[in-house]
Amino acid sequence: MAQPGSVASTNRNYSLTDLIDCIREDRELLESYQAETRRAVTQQLSTFQRNPLFESAGTSLTELLTPGRMNVLVLSHLSGPLRLVILSAVIRRLMEERMTTSEAEKHLAIRTDFAADERARLESFVASSVPKTLVAWTRPRTYSPRNEARVQAKR
């Protein structure tokens, strides 16, 4: 955690503990938000922290997705909003990684001017990347935020 009043460096691999510490220690947050608001957010993050889904080091997509193998994520025991968060995060990361891999595949197929070491580096990158993937889920309308509002209104 940065010293009060200083700018913290960017950390793409932050944990829920880092977020909780930030809420408790960041001067701007302390000045801008009521104590009750900060407490409510830290309590929710602490609840998430007890769930193994939110461990600091998650399962990489390349570990989860193997060519020729089907994987099933059973999310039925989670609340609708949490299912939506998980599905959105997985699909977003999958799309980002596939875009990068697809670009490398295109360069390998089209360009002939690569040095041997550059070609080898790109081939290695593609081989270790997320494979082409088909995503399907049952009852997708139950994960829709619009449908969630209707379900809540009926309760």
- Each residue's pLDDT, cut to its tens digit, for the chain (155 residues) gives 455 555 666 777 778 888 999 999 999 999 999 999 999 999 989 988 887 767 777 778 888 888 888 888 888 877 777 788 888 888 898 999 999 999 999 999 999 898 999 999 999 999 999 888 888 877 655 555 565 555 555 55
> Taking the CA atoms of the chain, what radius of gyration do you get in angstroms?
21
Domains of the chain: total: 2
| 67 and 104 both lie in a single domain | yes
Tokens of 11: 């950390």
Backbone angles phi, psi at 16, to 5 degrees: -65, -35
CA–CA separation, 134 and 139 (whole Å):
16
| 35 and 96 both lie in a single domain | no
Is residue 130 classed as helix, strand or coil in its secondary structure? coil
Residue 79's pLDDT is: 78
| 100 and 25 both lie in a single domain | no
* Last residue within a domain, chosen from 25, 58, 91: 58
| 100 and 127 both lie in a single domain | yes
* Last residue within a domain, chosen from 58, 82, 107: 58
Residues near 27 by Cβ (< 8 Å), separated by ≥ 6?
4, 5
Tokens of 54: 């939110």
| 135 and 86 both lie in a single domain | yes
| 32 and 73 both lie in a single domain | no
Q: Residues 136, 144: contact at Cβ < 8 Å? A: no
| 19 and 64 both lie in a single domain | no
Amino acid at 62: T
- What residues make up the domain containing 10? 1-58
Question: Which tens digits make up the pLDDT trace of 95-119?
Answer: 999 999 999 999 999 998 989 999 9
